[in-house]
A = this chain, B = another copy of it.
Amino acid sequence: MATLRDVAQQAGVSIATASRVVSGLDNVRSETRERVERAMRELLYVPPGRRPATGVIGLLVPDLENPIFPALAQAIEKHATEAGFASILCSTTAAAFREVDYVHMLLDRHVDGMIFISCEMTNMSGDHEHYARLVDEGAQIVFVNGALNTLSVPSVGVDERSAGEVATQHLLELGHRRIGYVAGPDYYLPTQQKAAGRRAALRAAALEDGDMTAHGEFSVAGGRNALRNLLVSDRPPTGVICSSDLMAIGVLQEAAAQGLRVPDDLSVVGFDGIDATRWTKPALTTVEQPIEEIAETAVGALQSLIEDPAKPLPDFSFRPQLAVRESTAHPHAASRR
């Protein structure tokens, strides 16, 4: 194991000077301090019994399978790094550990703050007690793409209601009148918020909902299943909006399996803006989250909390952006329906 002597030697300073840096004392020139800190890192020197250095935040995501979570995590890590924080990422739906276990582990390891991305707070029948406890204990936390009215935790995210509205309006403008919703599980708040946006857009066009919502898991298979359920109707939709791009990719696959051409027979709008929407054929029209802006704002909010916990912060709600690609078009009069 590297010793303080090794650090001093590598940095070319006295042991007393190295010790002052390690102890966090002020009377060291910044150039000297940097040399000692570099030597500590390079020698992997960990001062005995010291409370770990600050400068680490925890990011929590439900899983790594939906590409939107690695994408958000990567963007947040980039901004956190620029702000001087290293990030550690925990995916919380692994078999035996629960989100609260990860929170405990992160607290145990003295992180400066945590950013929860689409975690339990979005699940209306989920366990929210650990959030209340974190707030009570003065921990610094920020929610991304989720919020709890009952807690004063700043939230940063995309306006899900607007996303549902924008997607539906796009299909209305193309001339669709039967617009379905390939929806995630109903107990997730974003699922319901997009449903509300869709209903508002339909109502503004004086159209009925028409029982055209089917739920599935937030996955390719979930999208396939939901579309299958919508297509058994006598009057199936000519276009669908989806809770996520993964579900929309499932819709593309199920449509192909049933011999439906996209967009000729069925228009499809995704949500999230993952890279893969550019790789499918047809490329997916989707409602994109402003990932960069969300990431930058979330890190800024957490940094503000860490520096001044008393300073009040607003909720930050970003307008999503429609990206029109190849999966949407006018409904064909000659289609099979």
Residues of A at under 8 Å CB distance from B?
1-2, 40-44, 46, 52-53, 55-56, 58, 63-65, 67, 69-71, 73-74, 77-78, 80-82, 84, 86-91, 94-97, 100-105, 107-110, 129-130, 133-134, 137, 220, 249, 252-253, 275-276, 279-281
Residues of B within 8 A of A89 (CB): 88-91
Residues of B within 8 A of A252 (CB): 279
Residues of B within 8 A of A275 (CB): 65, 220
Partner of A90 from the list B88, B94, B279 (CB cut-off 8 Å) is B88
Shortest C-beta distance, A261 to chain B (Å), equals 12
Q: How many copies does the complex hold?
A: 2
Provide the bound-state CA to CA distance between A73 and B40, in Å: 29
For A42, A81, A82, A109, the residue with the greatest tally of chain B CB atoms inside 10 Å of its CB is A109
Q: Is the CB of A78 within 8 A of B94?
A: yes
* Additional A-B contacts beyond A2-B133, A252-B279 (12; CB < 8 A): A42-B100, A42-B130, A52-B108, A56-B109, A64-B64, A64-B71, A65-B74, A81-B95, A82-B95, A88-B89, A109-B109, A253-B279
Closest partner residue, chain B, to A52 (CB atom): B108
For A53, A74, A102, A133, the residue with the greatest tally of chain B CB atoms inside 10 Å of its CB is A74
Provide the bound-state CA to CA distance between A71 and B91, in Å: 12
18 CB-based A-B contacts, threshold 8 Å: A2-B133, A2-B137, A41-B104, A43-B133, A44-B104, A46-B108, A64-B64, A64-B71, A67-B67, A81-B97, A82-B95, A82-B96, A86-B102, A87-B90, A88-B88, A89-B91, A109-B109, A249-B279
Provide the bound-state CA to CA distance between A56 and B1, in Å: 21
A101-B41 in contact given A87-B90, A89-B91, A90-B87 (Cβ < 8 Å): yes
Provide the bound-state CA to CA distance between A97 and B88, in Å: 13
Residues of B within 8 A of A52 (CB): 108-109
Partner of A280 from the list B84, B86, B100, B280 (CB cut-off 8 Å) is B280
Shortest C-beta distance, A91 to chain B (Å), equals 6
Residues of B within 8 A of A100 (CB): 41-42, 44
6 A-B pairs with least C-beta separation: A281-B281, A64-B70, A81-B94, A89-B89, A64-B74, A88-B88
Provide the bound-state CA to CA distance between A137 and B44, in Å: 9
A109-B107 in contact given A94-B81, A97-B81, A133-B43 (Cβ < 8 Å): no
